[in-house]
Chains A and B, each alone.
Chain A
């Protein structure tokens, strides 16, 4: 699998896929996409990088342990629901704010935070499995 062409292209492909996954995540509320699909794309991106260049560079690149990323995502998703406590509405009610950033109105919501949490859980869990499986060669 570790052909020169694959190894040369893999980093660019991975970067593009991760970028695309974030795009898919963010557009998810109105267009096809969302945290789950975005997470799957990012996980496959990391899997490709791992197959092409080995697991160690991937682990270095994502810095945190993939399971830690997943756990943080789960925590984030749960906390997104807790936010509604401060608004005095039931758990998991969507909350929206529309701040002006550089003159453009940006819709931010607890729902978005939740979706990012879903994204991180999927990326973390899937890539941790994939990376652990790819590590076979080393031992």
Chain B
């Protein structure tokens, strides 16, 4: 069908970005109703990707794209198989609902257009992540999701909490992205391929490589930071500072699954090793337990959901790395189920907040009469989250237990982790979906009533989708689960689980989970109090650690700056000249390549001796000068002598330039010296003078030895001959020096004059600084802050 045409896929990949461009304009025209039009973009993407379903279900893999940087073997190319197709369908499908929901949620917000724009940008980036075939494209889109997430978390930028959360998320996920880039580069170096679709053939090579562990750790750094694995989970709950549509879309349904996507994508090539099958389940299991325990502690609906998202991500990572046959299928089913119910529950939480004016679960109750549709959607999502029939979550949970169950200690431990985790998620799911709706009506800050269609359409559709997907499970498995599981496992795999329960360990574990969940639900208040006092007793968490890390970094840079930039010119000069002397003399001493003592040439003319004498006299005059101005002018005398030598030995251009530079240097140095208001004469202590003298002697001797050594090498005339031969013929100029400057090496010169220009600007800025000297001298950030305040006060 036409959907297979590469052009169409490229347009579809660009469509969210185009929609992002027109979103502010449309929103100015249509207000929040622009959502209906903007939602057409993700809808079109959704339909486009549905078109691939039949082909992919039959085991097909669609690739396409074009060359981007051919010399580095970098392409803009995409790969559509079961894994990326499922993700693309989730992203575009939920994206359609989220755009509509955003229109209702932020109705009347002054920056609604900007919000739509950011959301669509994110959608384009996220689609790019899951569709990318080329490594570089994957990385670019990956970081773009971090950046758009930063923009969206910080959307309410007047509040400090959201600014902090935005920066934190960017630092953690963006930093992880850099680790991912390094990991991909390592993989590229091992295998020599830059495309995921080709990488599948190199699994054994990669696993056998001595750099396998390096690649693994770097990739895991990227995946774990993005998917909020313990102990990097802290950014995700803080990201709840974002408006609720963002939490529903980025921080539960899509972006945080990018890390899981990456692990699933690389499972066939990096997996099946002891490291993979140890690190992933251990970190995933830890995240699962920590996430649910922290969720119990919360009373804010969004934070409760956020922590269960952390634990769900942990469960997914654990299953991906577990290595048993059914674990992959379980991960796939749970991923789809989670996107549906968690996206829906977040939207419900936002809806309650929007209509009742609070998200605090202890201040909500009895909303079922006022908000019946919301109640229905919430209950349906919670049932799926709890893993009860007849929703998709049930299938996922059965498959999880089926996959984990075995009688060795290792498996039993993870079965226990999964039962506790699932049981606590059962609790949170119903706490979010039931507590606000049942029981006696509680007075809420706003008189609650059912929200507009834009708001309840999303959660209702997702809940119904979870129901439908379970009811027609053979179809779901054929088009979604089986192709995706095959892509993750790297070999054809069939998912068969259905709503009809089979007697066996899985069902028994499910029943245990439900009983555990019901007991825990009844004890929720006591559990919450217990967790609160436990956390208070611990007192420290990675979130606080992040702050300490950042402030430590700032302190380190301040103290480092104080050492490197003490603000004293003489220290800078001394260090610079010491380095020059070391660079000149060091290598010669190290390799023992001292130059031979030069022979005094026989044919030295009298006038040449005179010129050299002028130079020496200039230098002596510098040493014996009474004040600085005379010293500067004397230095000019020496420079002129050098210029004369250039002239005598046939370099008129060089000589010419040397004359001008010396003149200007004297003028400018003299001007600077008068400006600095220094003492006219030198009053350094003798020890300092001796030290400075040694440094200058070392530099001078270094240069002399270096020049002698250079001139004792045989002179390679290839370049001079080339320029002499071609200067006139090719570049129409007889002055070889000038032709080299402006023609043969013109681009070099362009860079150099740019440097001249920038240096000029910098010097101008330095001269123009009108601040008290004390503050310029020591780089004290507090001092600048004080100065800024005084400036504002003025």
State the A residues within 8 Å of B (CB): 28-37, 40-41, 43-44, 47, 51, 67, 70-71, 73-74, 77-78, 81, 91-92, 94, 96, 107, 109, 111, 114-115, 117-118, 121-122, 124-126, 128-130, 132-134, 136
Report the bound CA distance from A128 to B731 in whole Å.
33
Tell whether A36 pairs with B667 under 8 Å between CB atoms, given A29-B733, A73-B753, A81-B747.
no
List 6 A-B pairs, minimum CB-CB distance, nearest first: A125-B760, A40-B660, A133-B671, A32-B652, A29-B733, A34-B738
User: Given the interface contacts A44-B664, A73-B753, does A29 sit within 8 Å of B739 by beta carbon?
Assistant: yes
Residue of A nearest to B677 (CB): A136
The number of residues on chain B lying at the interface, defined by a beta carbon within 8 Å of a beta carbon of chain A, is 40
The 8 Å CB contact of B731, one of A67, A78, A94, A115, is: A94
Interfacial residues of chain B within 732-761, with CB under 8 A of chain A in the complex: 732-735, 737-739, 741-743, 746-747, 749-750, 753-754, 756-757, 759-761
Residues of chain B within 8 A of A126, CB atoms compared: 664, 760
The CA-CA distance from A109 to B672 in the complex, in Å, is 39
Per a CB cutoff under 8 Å, which of A41, A122, A132 touches B753?
A122
A37 touches B753 (CB 8 A): no
- A44 interface neighbour in B656, B657, B667, Cβ under 8 Å: B667
Whether the Cβ atoms of B738 and A109 lie closer than 8 Å is no
Q: Given A30-B733, A111-B733, A114-B746, 13 more contacts at CB 8 Å? A: A29-B742, A33-B656, A40-B661, A44-B667, A47-B667, A67-B761, A81-B750, A111-B742, A122-B753, A129-B668, A129-B763, A130-B671, A133-B675
CB <8 Å contact, B660 and A44: yes
- Cβ B732 vs Cβ A70 within 8 A: no
Chain A to chain B contacts (Cβ below 8 Å), 14 pairs: A31-B734, A34-B735, A40-B660, A40-B664, A44-B664, A70-B756, A94-B732, A118-B741, A125-B756, A126-B760, A129-B760, A132-B764, A132-B768, A133-B668
Chain B residues near A78 (CB-CB < 8 A): 750
Interface residues of B in 670-685 (CB under 8 A from A): 671-672, 674-675
Contact (Cβ within 8 A) A37 B657:
yes
Provide the residues of chain A in CB contact with B738, threshold 8 Å: 28-29, 33-34, 115
The minimal Cβ–Cβ distance linking A90 to chain B, given in whole angstroms, is 10
The binding surface of chain A is classed by DSSP as helix
Q: A37-B657, A126-B760 are in contact. Are A132 and B767 (CB under 8 A)?
A: yes
Q: List the A residue with the shortest CB-CB distance to B754.
A: A74
- Contact in complex: B742, A130 (CB < 8 Å): no
Please indicate the chain A residues that have their CB under 8 angstroms from the CB of B660 in the complex.
37, 40-41, 44
Do B652 and A122 have beta carbons less than 8 Å apart? no
Question: A-facing mask of B615-628, CB < 8 A → 1, else 0?
Answer: 00000000000000
**A41 cross-chain contacts in B, Cβ below 8 A:** 660
- Chain B residue contacts of A91, Cβ below 8 A: 747
Residues of chain B having any CB pair with chain A under 8 Å: 652-653, 656-657, 660-661, 663-664, 667-668, 671-672, 674-675, 731-735, 737-739, 741-743, 746-747, 749-750, 753-754, 756-757, 759-761, 763-764, 767-768
Q: By the criterion CB–CB under 8 Å, are A70 and B667 in contact?
A: no
Q: Which residues on the B side are within 8 Å of A47 (C-beta)?
A: 664, 667
Query: What is the distance, in angstroms, from A131's C-beta to the closest C-beta of chain B?
Result: 9
Residue of B nearest to A96 (CB): B732
Are A67 and B754 also in contact (CB < 8 A) when A37-B657, A94-B731, A111-B742 are? no
Q: A44-B667, A70-B760, A128-B760 given as contacts; is B747 within 8 A of A33 (CB)? A: no
Provide the bound-state CA to CA distance between A94 and B743, in Å. 6
The distance from the CB of A100 to the nearest CB of chain B, in whole angstroms, is: 17
Chain B interface, >50% SS class: helix
CB pair A37–B653 under 8 Å, yes or no, is yes
Q: Which of B656, B732, B754, B767 contacts A29 (CB 8 A)?
A: B732
B746 CB contact (under 8 Å) in A37, A43, A111:
A111
Cα(A67)–Cα(B765), bound, Å: 11
Take A29-B733, A129-B767, A132-B767 as given contacts and tell me if A92 and B760 are in contact as well, using a CB distance cutoff of 8 Å.
Answer: no
List residues of chain B with CB within 8 A of the CB of A70.
756-757, 760
Which of A35, A134, A136 is B742 in contact with, Cβ under 8 Å? A35
Could you tell me if B742 and A33 are in contact, using CB atoms closer than 8 angstroms? no
Given contacts A33-B656, A37-B657, A118-B742, contact A111 B763 (CB under 8 A): no
Residues of A within 8 A of B657 (CB): 36-37, 40
Determine how close the nearest CB of chain A comes to the CB of B640; give it in whole angstroms.
14
Contact for B735 among A32, A92, A118, CB less than 8 A: A32
Q: What CA separation (Å) do A129 and B764 show in the bound complex?
A: 6
Among B663, B672, B756, the most chain A Cβ lie within 10 Å of the Cβ of B756
Instruction: Tell me which residues across on chain B come within 8 A of A40, comparing CB atoms.
Output: 657, 660-661, 664
Which residues of the other chain, A, contact B668 by a CB distance below 8 angstroms?
129-130, 133
Cα A77 to Cα B746 with chains together (Å): 9
Q: Which residues of A contact B746 (CB under 8 A)?
A: 81, 92, 94, 111, 114
Q: What residues of B have a CB within 8 angstroms of the CB of A30 in the complex?
A: 733-735
Known: A32-B735, A96-B732. A124 touches B749 (CB 8 A): no
B residues near A37, Cβ cutoff 8 Å:
653, 656-657, 660
> Nearest chain A CB to B753's CB is how many angstroms away?
4
- Say yes or no: B757 contacts A121, CB within 8 Å: yes
Within the complex, what minimum Cβ distance (angstroms) separates A102 from chain B?
21
Given A115-B742, A129-B767, A133-B675, is A32 in contact with B656 using a C-beta cutoff of 8 Å?
Answer: yes
Residues of chain A contacted by B754 (CB below 8 angstroms): 74
A37 to B737, CA, bound (A): 12
A107 to chain B, nearest CB (A): 7
Instruction: Give Cα A74 to B737, complex, Å.
Output: 21
Check B656–A67 contact: CB distance below 8 A.
no
B739, B741, B750, B754, most chain A CB atoms within 10 A: B750
CA of A122 to CA of B749, assembled, Å: 12
- Give min CB distance, B272 to chain A, whole Å: 50
A117 CA / B767 CA spacing, docked (Å): 25
CB distance from B383 to the nearest CB of A (A): 65
A94 to B760, CA, bound (A): 28
Q: Check B750–A77 contact: CB distance below 8 A.
A: yes
| A53 and B741 alpha carbons, distance in the complex (Å) | 35
- Tell me the nearest residue of chain B to A31, going by C-beta: B735
B730 to chain A, nearest CB (A): 8
B674: which A residues are within 8 A, CB to CB? Answer: 136
Q: Bound state CA distance, A128 and B737, in angstroms? A: 27
